[in-house]
Structure 1
Amino acid sequence: MKIMSIALGACALMLAAPAVAGDQDFTLFNKTGYDIAEVYVSPAKSKNWGDDVMEDEVLEDAHSVPITFKAKNAICNYDLKVIFTDGDEAYWTNFDLCTISKIQIFWNQKTQKATAKWE
């Protein structure tokens, strides 16, 4: 009985534990009307975007791609920046990637406004 209590306690601790590396991965849906050459994900309000998480891939308009990156710690809130194939940039802020698994991004060239939907 004591062994079962320890096992149940360990399971409860695992469920209550903060996010670990990999929990912040998500699927990105490009609904911008433009092809995307680069995608950057960084902790919210960080001044360093780090490396392009898509490397040499291009995310075409109306397509999606799984975004996997090595989170440095259990931070959940991240910003997202894309660079379109024409060199223009757009960014979105403060996604809780510990609870979000899908992000759809939109870009209005006329108003220069970036919006998103997520689940």
Structure 2
Amino acid sequence: MTLLAAPAFADDWDFVLINGSGKPIKTVELAPAGTATWQPNKVDPEFKKEDATTKVGGRMTVHFDKGPGCRYDVKATFADGATSTWSAINVCDNAYVTIRYNAAGTPTFTAN
């Protein structure tokens, strides 16, 4: 009897990111929580603009290849070149993620 292993394929996933950070977002990257294996948001070439920043309060759809887990870190690069990371967001159970900073300036998020 011969057993064949099926190839592992990543699923395309997406969620809506709401920018509550207080700064325009230039790019977004994702990595499985606790890793540094960043992958860029997959922007459809038809919708890619020269200056595609997401304004404060704006929304963007984040497309990525989902791996075996549900928790991902999200790294935003802002229009001023600064970056921040929001950790361990559950992308399996949440279609909308709002990123912001708490009163102490620490990245925090809400998801639903």
Separation of aligned partners in 2, 1:77 and 1:49 = 13
Taking structure 2 as the reference length, the TM-score comes to 0.74
**Match status 1:78 vs 2:93:** no
Structure 1 counterpart SS, 2:30: strand
Taking structure 1 as the reference length, the TM-score comes to 0.71
Separation of aligned partners in 2, 1:53 and 1:60 = 19
Render the CA deviation track for 1:34-93: whole Å, top value 9, x for unaligned. Answer: 10011011111112213354576211111001111122x332111101011111111111
**More strand per residue:** 2
Separation of aligned partners in 1, 2:29 and 2:55 = 16
Partners of 1:38 and 1:53 within 8 A in 2? no
Correspondence 1:15-94 to 2 at 5 A = 21-22=11-12, 24-54=13-43, 57-71=52-66, 73-94=67-88
Any stretches of 5+ residues in structure 1 without a counterpart?
A: 1-19
Separation of aligned partners in 1, 2:41 and 2:17 = 14
Partners of 1:81 and 1:91 within 8 A in 2? yes
Any stretches of 5+ residues in structure 2 without a counterpart?
A: 1-9
Question: Of the two, which has the highest radius of gyration?
Answer: 1
- Cα RMSD after superposing both structures: 2.1
Identity, in percent, stands at 24
Aligned residues: 97
